[in-house]
Structure 1
Amino acid sequence: MQMSRSWIVSVVAAGLLATSGGAATASPDYELAYWNMNEGPGSSVMHDVSGHGFHGRIGREVATGIQSDGRTAYGFERLEPDTPPARPGHLVIVPDDERLNPGSRDYSIEMRLRTRDHFGNIVQKGQATVRGGSFKLQIPNGRVQCWFRGSRTSLLVTAPRPINDGRWHTVRCQRTGDGVSLAVDGDVVAQREGWTGPIANSWPIAIGGKTDCDQVDVGCDYFAGDIDFIAIDVEDPGW
């Protein structure tokens, strides 16, 4: 899988350099965290194979060891939106670590996923109004959105076409000093110029939905589908 991911990153980076028009002039290339999601059925720990120790807790409702097209993935069942109770077992949680915050660095989140649904938060650190800013990838109406909220402003970009066709797609959400961009299957599909300002909060990374929600006043926005890997790259590790 590492060989496959290296090829994907190279293609995406080339696309950013060739077509971004200044919105994202560099591609973060230091692997901060890499969760290959290859754990077998019944696993409770998601291992970070980058060597930095950002291991996660797999919720009891997350299916592990799913085999498809030579890949091993996690599966997240469909849960009805805004229907109590909250289901924290639907999530994978990576505990907060200040090194996982974007700060002022160039920062990207890349993943491979498939879904036939049209809603849900895929991965995030923080929520909409938390102190210190936040970031997330979500998929309303089947179209991936990449959102970074910093001390200066929020920048949101949206894919022009849905990807909820049940096929595997690689998505890369990136924030640099010049703006935010989104690539799908190696092509930059959306970008917005600007500077979000630093982002640093004390929240965990949540995969599959929100951590602070009740499905009444705050929807949990649970993702439905499969995820093959998630990687976080930065320009500079900062240590």
Structure 2
Amino acid sequence: MRRVLSGLVLLLAVLAGTTAAAAEPATETVHYTFDGPSPLTDVSGHGHDLTPVSRFGGAFTTVAHNGGQALVFPSPCHAEPCPRIALRAATTTGLNPGRRPLRYGASVRLAADQTTKGENVLQKGFSAQGSQYKLQIDGLAGRPSCVLVDDRRPQIHAAISNVGVADDRWHTLECRRAGSRLSILVDGVTRGRATVPADLSVSNRRPFSLGGKGSYPDNDQFQGILDEVWVRIG
């Protein structure tokens, strides 16, 4: 009898573990370190490699950072046509979080003379067309913010940092969405929060982009240095 009970306990434990594993949502990640001979490779192994889209001579260069490389985007330009460049991964539904928990971030370096009304660090989707998640840096103070837009309701939800990062120093930025809470962290410290609908869902067929929306004039061009970009879903 004791052996039977022990076997039953073991079977229940295995079944419980199997059920928990089946219920746990899959985690899709993307990670760019910009190191090595192929700096636009997704080192997470999920294959979301980047391809530049550019216009008017827009290009990136590399600079040494933390034993590896970081990407330098075009300098500020005040007379059109200006150099434009964005880095895009192929359109994929694998980077759509839906309603699941979502974290994403990057390391940035931005000087005071490199700020604009809006610079996109990373994004998937557009606020006016479908849904979106985005990390941006806005205004003369260079205040970062995290943005979410639902795939059914066009309202923009933003968690805006109460501190700026345009001081020509490296800063880590992170956005976190869990249920109805959206937070932005600067250098590991929560600097802003927003409440979002608990059923807010981000799901679109748009590409994942870094440094801008595209290569057209109003592309919200990022003008600083970028490193360690990542997304974690689930």
Shorter-normalised TM range: 0.7 to 0.9
**Matched residue, 1:140:** 138
1:188-199 equivalences under 5 Å are 188-195=190-197, 197-199=200-202
- Pick the aligned partner of 1:100 from 74, 89, 95: 95
1:39-78 equivalences under 5 Å are 39-40=36-37, 46-59=40-53, 61-78=58-75
CA contact (8 A) 2:28 2:94 kept: no
Percent identity of paired positions between Structure 1 and Structure 2: 27
**Matched residue, 2:30:** 33
Task: Tell me the C-alpha RMSD between the 2 structures.
Answer: 2.3
Cα deviation for residue 125 of structure 1 reads: 1.1
CA contact (8 A) 2:158 2:194 kept: yes
Q: Deviations over 1:147-205 (max 9, x none)?
A: 01013443201111110111110000122212210001010111112326111111111
**Matched residue, 1:18:** none
Cα deviation for residue 111 of structure 1 reads: 0.9
- Pick the aligned partner of 1:201 from 199, 204, 218: 204
Distance in 2, Cα, partners of 1:166 & 1:30 = 34
1:13-32 equivalences under 5 Å are 30=27, 32=29
Moved over 4 A (4+): 28-31
Matched, 1:234 2:233: yes
1:65-214 equivalences under 5 Å are 65-80=62-77, 84-85=80-81, 87-88=83-84, 90-116=85-111, 117-119=114-116, 120-131=119-130, 133-141=131-139, 142-150=142-150, 151-152=152-153, 153-195=155-197, 197-211=200-214, 214=216
Q: Deviations over 1:40-67 (max 9, x none)?
A: 4xx5x61111111111113574334311
Cα deviation for residue 74 of structure 1 reads: 0.6
Distance in 2, Cα, partners of 1:74 & 1:123 = 13
CA 1:125/1:176 → structure 2, altered by over 3 Å: closer, same or farther?
Answer: same
CA 1:100/1:189 → structure 2, altered by over 3 Å: closer, same or farther?
Answer: same
**Matched residue, 2:219:** 220
Classify the secondary structure of the residue corresponding to 2:94: helix
Distance in 2, Cα, partners of 1:105 & 1:136 = 16
Classify the secondary structure of the residue corresponding to 1:37: coil
Q: Unmatched 5+ residue regions in structure 2?
A: 1-24
Distance in 1, Cα, partners of 2:122 & 2:163 = 20
CA contact (8 A) 1:115 1:225 kept: yes
Cα deviation for residue 86 of structure 1 reads: 6.7
**Matched residue, 2:21:** none
CA 1:111/1:214 → structure 2, altered by over 3 Å: closer, same or farther?
Answer: closer
TM-score normalised per structure 1: 0.75
Distance in 2, Cα, partners of 1:111 & 1:203 = 20
Which has the larger share of strand? 2
Distance in 1, Cα, partners of 2:66 & 2:49 = 26
